[in-house]
Amino acid sequence: DAYPFDAGLVRLDDETSVLELFHGPTCAFKDFGARFMARVMSYFNRNADRRLHILVATSGDTGSAVGSAFYQVPGLDVTILYPAGKISPLQEKQLSTFDGNIRALKISGTFDDCQKLVKTAFTDDSLRAALRLSSANSINISRLLPQSFYYIHSSLALRAALAAEGKANDVVIMVVPSGNFGNLTSGLIAR
């Protein structure tokens, strides 16, 4: 249920492969972590007497991936905070067109302002008494761990393919685009 899509490993030449992490519903690598996280949280919340409320700050991809992943998942509500005018039109459509248990709030300011509101909510005793709170940002290990799965899977698949070709290679080098610290952290966990 968490992964009805795959992370394709495409060989470009004898030494270079590309791990395609855009095959999820929102075309973001964050779909892998968010979908697994939503199902795990729902499972562990199944006997709780109160819903779990997820607070998320986004500059685009996280909000879309979390909205899609948590949409209509039992026992969970999500509030996504995003900066007005600072995300792409496609991302805004992706994260603001959900209903039901997902709500997106446009905030005047920057991503840092959204993140500050989320962090402040976690330190607000009266809010925490009223709501069971958690986050789906990369500060939550349950989003990072499942992102490590595709590093492990692709590394093993590449090694098997090389061995089948008689090109045994025990060194796999992963390159991660800058600005993806959560993704890089997941790779380090896999290592």
Pick the CATH number of 30-138 from 2.40.33.10, 3.40.50.1100, 1.10.1760.20, 1.10.3720.10: 3.40.50.1100
pTM of the model: 0.89
116 included as an active-site residue: no
Q: How far is CA 37 from CA 52, 157, 169, in A?
A: 13, 24, 33
- pLDDT tens for residues 116-174? 999 999 999 999 999 999 998 777 888 889 989 999 999 998 888 888 888 877 678 88
14-61 pLDDT tens trace: 888 999 999 999 998 889 999 999 999 999 999 999 999 999 999 888
Kindly name the residue from 30, 86, 116, 167 that is annotated as catalytic.
30
